[in-house]
């Protein structure tokens, strides 16, 4: 494939086109990803998540600089929400990183969530593979501004930075399930603001009382002010040493295999579902089934088990 | 699945009057497009690099400083040099009527002057977008 050659040679246009192909589910997507697969596995993936306005993009901007100072190539995937009403999107994360726009060692791609609810877009998973195969050393994935349940970023990152800012509530908020559980590094940004020390103490307390499996690595807290560039060096060092630790302990390999497991079962699920729906001509008959259920002529569970019997007769021997 | 139309809205030059650019960015979002907003004080080089990385179909330029005769054609030239002249460039801002023709000749496919209704911009995009589908 011509496109694959372009990507592995680091051609910017090829990479950009490839991301559009996977984003729009265009023809050739599966073949493309299969061809790229042998070239992946060299990049480290950092996830950046946190509430809207916490400073995720500004932090990414500073971390890009750190990586560039060391000669690393960096790709950023920045996700912003799509409108549930019009499907439109205003992608504004890039604005904070525009000083790197003309640097050939930096590739920034904005993505709209396109109805996906986990905090990233479905295509972000595959976009990571494209940048990996294209030779970017570090790939940062910035989520939309999250609330409490958008935790999908753990499924594609080697390390997750959860960016928090003072003034979000007491330690009970920090003890809740969901987003507060997914950070490997808790970044307390805008640390020059009032309440930063208290937030740090609260997160420390919550981490201290959390039960965690013995083999899982220590979580870290880091105070930053991305705008003033303070704390960035410390954060960068934590990122480096954490990566090294996780690599040596085998934790990273385990994590990456878990990610593959999830991806493969997801693919199975999608493909099986497509296949079965076609076998049962679900689309063509849905309206009449619904009519029957609405009029109480059909019992939903009895109906489903009959349909399942139809399938088993056809596909299971014996 | 239908290919989503992506549009970069950028402000080249040194003026900081970004209300027009923000207005158009928001209106195009509401019209269902994916809009990449890059903010003020962009160089033609950064605008073009962004357009290529983001794989946009359109680049909309907003300028109120009077440097449109230099900066708008420069964006078109750089896109061409990168082999990306399939990306459609349009412009807006305080642009005198007498400049419109020469800008169009230099490859800026539409100029929207003050007072243009947003529907005119959307009509333009709709009429051009099919030819840009990959």
Q: What is the ipTM of this complex?
A: 0.92
Q: Which pLDDT does position B130 carry in this prediction?
A: 61
Q: How many CA atoms lie within 13 A of B49 on its CB side?
A: 19
Q: What is the mean pLDDT of residues B116-125?
A: 96
Q: How far is CA B130 from CA A112, A273, B107, in A?
A: 21, 32, 18
Mean pLDDT of A219-230: 93
| Mean pLDDT value of segment A262-288 | 90
> Would you say residue A75 has pLDDT above 50?
yes
| pLDDT at residue A158 is higher than 80 | yes
Average of per-residue pLDDT across A183-190? 94
A199-213, B67-81, B100-114 — which is least confidently predicted? Answer: A199-213
In this model, does residue B132 exceed pLDDT 50? no
pLDDT tops 70 at residue A8: yes
Mean pLDDT of A149-164: 91
Which candidate in B10, B50, B53, B121 is best for mutational testing of the A interface (most A CBs within 10 A)? Answer: B53
pLDDT grade for B1, boundaries at 50, 70 and 90 = low
Q: Do B46 and A98 touch (CB under 8 A)?
A: yes
Contact check, Cβ <8 Å, B50/A94 = yes
The residue ranges of every structural domain in chain B are 6-125
**Overall size of chain A counted in residues:** 318
B36 CB within 8 Å of a chain A CB: yes
Q: Which two tokens stand for residue A235?
A: 């954060």
Q: Over the stretch A21-72, which tens digit does the pLDDT of each residue have? A: 999 999 999 999 999 999 999 999 999 999 999 999 999 999 999 999 999 9
- Residue A279 has a pLDDT of 87
Comparing CB atoms, the residue among A26, A90, A102 nearest residue B35 is A90
| Beta carbons of A98 and B26 less than 8 Å apart | no
Work out the average pLDDT over A123-149: 94
Mean pLDDT score of chain A, rounded to an integer? 91
**What domains appear along chain A, each with residue ranges and CATH number?**
41-249 (3.40.50.300), 264-315 (no CATH)
pLDDT digits (tens, 9 = 90+) for A79-117: 999 999 999 999 999 999 999 999 999 999 999 999 888
More confident residue, A169 or B78: B78
CATH topology of domain B6-125: Rossmann fold (3.40.50)
Question: A with B: how many residue pairs have Cβ under 8 Å apart?
Answer: 92
Q: Check whether A264 has a pLDDT greater than 70.
A: yes
Cβ within 8 Å, pair A20-B3: yes
Better pLDDT: A206 or A164? A164
CB of B16 within 8 Å of a chain A CB? The answer is: no
Predicted local distance difference test score (pLDDT) of residue B133: 46
pLDDT on residue A285: 92
Q: Which pLDDT tens digit goes with each residue over A117-126?
A: 888 888 999 9
In this complex, the residue of B26, B50, B55 whose CB is nearest that of residue A20 is B55
Q: How far apart are CA A87 and CA A70, in angstroms?
A: 39
Rounded Cα gap, residues A152 and A143, in angstroms: 9
| Mean pLDDT across A184-201 | 93
* Residue A25 vs residues A28, A265, A270: alpha-carbon distances, Å: 9, 19, 14
Residue A4 is encoded by which pair of tokens?
């694959």
């Amino acid at each position: 494939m011509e496109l694959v050659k372009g990507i592995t040679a680091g051609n910017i246009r090829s990479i950009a086109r490839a991301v559009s192909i996977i984003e729009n589910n265009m023809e050739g997507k599966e073949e493309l990803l299969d061809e790229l697969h042998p070239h992946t596995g060299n990049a480290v993936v950092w996830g950046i998540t946190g509430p809207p306005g916490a400073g995720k993009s500004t932090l990414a901007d500073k971390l890009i600089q750190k990586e560039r100072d060391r000669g690393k190539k960096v790709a950023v995937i920045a996700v912003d929400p799509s409108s549930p009403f019009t499907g439109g999107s205003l992608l504004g994360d890039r604005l904070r990183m525009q000083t790197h726009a003309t640097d050939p060692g930096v590739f920034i791609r904005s993505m709209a969530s396109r109805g996906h609810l986990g905090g990233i877009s479905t295509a972000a998973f595959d976009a990571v593979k494209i940048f990996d195969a294209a030779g970017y050393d570090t790939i940062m994935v910035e989520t939309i501004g999250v609330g409490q349940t958008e935790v999908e970023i753990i499924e594609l990152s080697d390390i997750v930075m959860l960016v928090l800012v003072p003034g979000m509530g007491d330690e009970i908020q920090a003890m809740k399930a969901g987003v507060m559980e997914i950070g490997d590094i808790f970044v307390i940004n805008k640390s020059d603001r009032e309440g930063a020390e208290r937030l740090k103490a609260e997160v420390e307390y919550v981490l201290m009382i959390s039960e965690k499996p013995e083999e899982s690595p220590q979580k870290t807290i880091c105070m930053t002010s991305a705008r003033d560039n303070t704390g960035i060096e410390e954060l960068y060092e934590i990122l480096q040493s954490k990566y090294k630790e996780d690599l040596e302990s085998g934790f990273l390999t385990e994590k990456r295999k878990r990610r593959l497991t999830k991806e493969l079962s997801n693919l199975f699920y999608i493909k099986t579902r497509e296949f079965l729906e076609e076998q049962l001509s679900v689309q063509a008959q849905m309206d009449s089934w619904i009519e029957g259920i609405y009029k109480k002529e059909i019992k939903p569970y009895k109906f489903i088990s009959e349909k399942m019997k139809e399938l088993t007769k056809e596909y299971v021997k014996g | 699945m239908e290919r989503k139309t992506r549009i970069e809205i950028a402000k080249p030059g040194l003026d900081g009057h970004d209300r027009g650019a923000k207005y158009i960015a928001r209106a195009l979002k509401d019209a269902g497009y994916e809009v990449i907003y890059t903010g003020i004080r962009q160089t033609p080089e950064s605008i073009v690099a962004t357009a290529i990385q983001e794989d946009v179909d359109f680049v909309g330029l907003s300028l109120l400083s009077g440097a449109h005769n230099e900066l708008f054609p420069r964006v078109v030239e750089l896109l061409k040099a990168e082999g990306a002249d399939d990306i459609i460039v349009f412009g807006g801002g305080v642009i005198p009527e007498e400049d419109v023709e020469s800008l169009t000749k230099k490859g800026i496919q539409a100029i929207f002057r003050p007072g243009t209704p947003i529907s005119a911009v959307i009509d333009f995009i709709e009429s051009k977008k099919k030819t840009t589908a990959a």
